Amino acid sequence: MSGQLERCEREWHELEGEFQELQETHRIYRQKLEELTSLQTLCSGSINKQKTRLKDLKHTLQRYKHHASQEEAELIQQMSANIKERQNVFFDMEAYLPKKNGLYLNLVLGNVNVTLLSNQANCVTFSGGVYQCRFAYKDEYEKFKLYLTIILLLGAVACRFVLHYRVTDEVFNFLLVWYYCTLTIRESILISNGSRIKGWWVSHHYVSTFLSGVMLTWPNGLIYQKFRNQFLAFSIFQSCVQFLQYYYQRGCLYRLRALGERNHLDLTVEGFQSWMWRGLTFLLPFLFCGHFWQLYNAVTLFELSSHEECREWQVFVLALTFLVLFLGNFLTTLKVVHAKLQKNRNKGKKL
């Protein structure tokens, strides 16, 4: 037997031994996977039972509260606070357990499990085999927002001052549609994994997607040209404000996470939330300016919709959409500011 053939035989025996080890490792892996699935089912069922019982207990306490003595009322208040705290604990627990996707994710991704089971190591596959982990995916989301904000800023500047063509406007509007669609998908995945972004700051991305889609379908003409420069100027201002928000919110969130006051999956948003009160109030004038610019866009479009040469349905629809954005952004920001001022005033009275 030649020396080369002997080396091949030795290598085959080595591979055979490694293959036996691989088979045993894979068997253990499948066994652990079955155990994990069983534990997930057990935890989910126990959490649901606990939530149901706590809900019943909360209703019972609310009924008893009306005819309770002062001492009993204090006990009820303490128990209610504990129930509320327990619900927050359940929320954090469920972030590590598989759950059904919402309607939007089912429509976009299908029945795919998007729960990231580990903060670092365990990953899942979705959307063409892209592997992401919980915190890494959150960081990817933040980087995506930053990079696209810069690209959209440059695109708006180019369309406003250099490229006066309808085709470049369509590319810019298509980029806006794709950007907001992608944001809604990524945010839905992050919410499934424990991110606490909710309310209007989620909904307004869906509204922005719709608005960008209508802008994309608006045909070129006199009415379009009358509004074009105003919209591009608004886009430039909005991108600048979003860049400022990202830059300063990221630093603020990092500081609050280090102090244990914020969740590691909390995100930067295109608005104002209560945790931004310390250090980010200087952003409020820019935010309110952007909100009233949206109102100005709505008023301009309502006026253009009554123009004698206006034939496009997009004008009136865009006016309504800008009005919805203004009302949602302005009222939500105003609510946060009012609640924070009221809280500070109450603290001052106690002191």
Contact between residue 133 and residue 116 where contact means Cβ atoms under 8 Å apart: yes
Q: How many CB atoms lie within 10 A of CB 298?
A: 20
Who contacts 27 (Cβ-Cβ below 8 Å, separation ≥6)? none
Strands (E) across the chain are located at: 124-126, 130-132
Q: Position of tokens 């209560």?
A: 274
pLDDT in the model for residue 82: 86
The DSSP letter of residue 271 is: S
Q: What are the distances in angstroms from CA 313 to CA 167, 204, 217, 304?
A: 20, 22, 10, 11
The DSSP letter of residue 276 is: G
Q: Tens digits of per-residue pLDDT, 93-127?
A: 777 777 777 777 777 776 666 666 654 434 444 43
Its pTM surpasses 0.95: no
pLDDT in the model for residue 207: 93
Cα–Cα distance, 267 to 263 (Å, whole number): 9
Q: What are the distances in angstroms from CA 52 to CA 155, 201, 261?
A: 51, 29, 29
Contact between residue 269 and residue 197 where contact means Cβ atoms under 8 Å apart: yes
Pick from 280, 207, 209, 199: nearest CA to 245? 280
Give the burial class of 286: count Cβ atoms within 10 A of its Cβ; 0-12 exposed, 13-18 middle, 19 or more buried: middle
Pick from 75, 81, 76, 82: nearest CA to 60? 76
Cα–Cα distance, 102 to 115 (Å, whole number): 12
Residue 10 CA to its chain's centroid (Å): 55
Residue 46 CA to its chain's centroid (Å): 28
Cα–Cα distance, 107 to 101 (Å, whole number): 9
pLDDT in the model for residue 342: 76
Cα–Cα distance, 81 to 323 (Å, whole number): 39
Q: Coil, strand, or helix at residue 150? A: helix
Residue numbers of the chain with a pLDDT score lower than 70 = 1, 110-135, 198, 248-281, 343-351
Tell me what the pLDDT averaged over the chain comes to: 80
Six-digit token pair at 130? 């892209």
Contact between residue 40 and residue 98 where contact means Cβ atoms under 8 Å apart: yes
Q: What are the distances in angstroms from CA 71 to CA 38, 74, 266?
A: 44, 5, 38
Q: What are the distances in angstroms from CA 207 to CA 38, 78, 180, 323, 326?
A: 40, 40, 9, 11, 11
pLDDT in the model for residue 156: 94
Cα–Cα distance, 57 to 176 (Å, whole number): 48
Q: What are the distances in angstroms from CA 15 to CA 1, 4, 6, 7?
A: 20, 17, 14, 12
pLDDT in the model for residue 233: 95
Q: Tens digits of per-residue pLDDT, 193-224?
A: 777 776 787 888 899 999 999 999 999 989 99
